[in-house]
Amino acid sequence: MKYVDEFRDPAKARYLLGEINRQIEQIATCQVRPLQLMEVCGGHTHALFKYGIETLLPEVIELVHGPGCPVCVLPMGRVDDCVALAEQGGVIFTTFGDPMRVPGSRKSLAQAKAEGADIRMVYSPLDALKLARQHPEREVVFFGLGFETTIPSTAFTVLQAEREGINNFSVFCNHITIIPTIKAILDSPDMQLDGFLGPGHVSMVIGTRPYGFIAERYHKPVVIAGFEPLDVLQAVAMVLRQIAKRRAEVENQYGRVVPQEGNRAALTALSQVFEVREYFEWRGLGSIDYSGVRLRQRYARYDAERRFSLPNLKIADPKACQCGEVLKGILKPRECKVFGTACTPETPLGALMVSSEGACAAYYRFGRLQQQTPAHSRETMDQA
């Protein structure tokens, strides 16, 4: 199968692992402490566990799981706002599947749906716009969520609604941006990172240039990585090669998908419809300046925050949940006090256990098996 089997070749994986070990031998820091590499994207976290990559890497490499899962960083107060919107009379609330079970302070969207709210899962904002055409007597709200990967599709949908003159469609905008988030992590005194695996999907839209400040200002290497096993292994080898040669640059392992300048059409639509918020609240990371977007004044009639009255409260996470520490890379999921006991995919306390890209979900699905049977990862790679 083109572009799948080629990136799961066991012989090439063994070669890349040999290259990783050769680079480790040239890095003096490894004799003193582990090298900490952050994979920003939740998709990489799942790839690392699904294919057993973490257990194949030398012990001196410590992978730190970053906040690149938009569902995971959604604060509880914003979930409450979603529920409040969905429970208003005459509203059809539309959302992707992942946010349905993220806990709010009172209930999740799934619980609100079970109690009678008209909440519908969609695959794209265009599906929500289609519902608005079909139900002109109802207000259709789309839950806009995600990094720059999904912002353009929301922007194009708003532009389509304007062209068609559809006035019963709006967006509850929770879109966020990756660059201020990485800067907040680098400025955190708790972090001691040596390099980054950059997010592939976001970079497909924004390109590679925006990451330049990480290398120039913070002197950390960045390699934009794909999501197949060989992608991740090659990206790790490229980061280590930079560290060994004392370089700090932005390199693009995912060149078959990610252009240096990004997607111009997507970026144009994004900037036309959205503007940067002064600040946005993140679960576990607090308020980060200029890290979210909202609809411009010209498109105010499509902004659910302007059209509806919302609680807009800041609500603390449950004390037992340590999602914040996991998001910042301070704790591994299995170090959380409630991981796998009170908090499971069936009974999640935090968003990281709900989302398909959440670190806790990855540890629960794949990490336990690896912890019990270390050889499993090598068998997985050989069979892939």
Confidence band for 361, pLDDT divided at 50, 70 and 90: confident
* Mean pLDDT value of segment 137-143: 98
Within this chain, domains 5-65+196-252 and 76-176+292-307 share the same CATH topology? yes
Confidence band for 377, pLDDT divided at 50, 70 and 90: very low
Confidence band for 369, pLDDT divided at 50, 70 and 90: very low
pLDDT digits (tens, 9 = 90+) for 236-258: 999 999 999 999 999 999 999 99
Domain assignments of the chain as residue spans, ordered by start: 5-65+196-252, 76-176+292-307, 323-383
For residue 206, pLDDT beyond 50: yes
Q: What percent of the chain has pLDDT over 90?
A: 65
Q: Which helix (H) or strand (E) holds 14?
A: helix 10-25
Return the number of other C-beta atoms located less than 10 Å from residue 337's C-beta: 12
pLDDT digits (tens, 9 = 90+) for 9-46: 999 999 999 999 999 999 988 888 899 999 999 899 88
pLDDT at residue 82, as a whole number = 97
For residue 263, pLDDT beyond 60: yes
For residue 196, pLDDT beyond 80: yes
* Mean pLDDT value of segment 314-322: 77
Sign (positive or negative) of CA dihedral 222, 47, 286, 124: positive
Q: What is the rounded CA–CA span in Å between residue 153 and residue 125?
A: 7
What's the whole-number average pLDDT of the chain?
Answer: 89
pLDDT digits (tens, 9 = 90+) for 213-242: 999 999 999 999 999 999 999 999 999 999
Most trustworthy range by pLDDT among 176-180, 191-195, 313-317, 339-343: 176-180
pLDDT digits (tens, 9 = 90+) for 323-332: 777 876 778 8
Residues β-bridged to residue 63: 37
Q: Write down the pTM of the prediction.
A: 0.87
Of 76, 63, 270, the closest CA to residue 178 belongs to: 270
pLDDT at residue 367, as a whole number = 65
Q: Which CATH number fits domain 76-176+292-307: 3.40.50.11740, 3.40.50.150, 3.40.50.450, 3.40.50.620?
A: 3.40.50.11740
* Mean pLDDT value of segment 151-179: 97
pLDDT digits (tens, 9 = 90+) for 83-119: 999 999 999 999 999 899 888 888 999 999 999 999 9
More confident residue, 137 or 328: 137
Q: What are the angstrom distances between the C-alpha of 373 and each of 52, 170, 377?
A: 11, 49, 8
More confident residue, 370 or 104: 104
Confidence band for 380, pLDDT divided at 50, 70 and 90: very low
Residues β-bridged to residue 144: 173
**Domain 5-65+196-252 belongs to what topology?**
Rossmann fold (3.40.50)
One-letter amino acid at 384 equals A
**Block residue for tokens 């105010």:** 300
Q: What is the rounded CA–CA span in Å between residue 260 and residue 209?
A: 7
* Mean pLDDT value of segment 124-145: 98
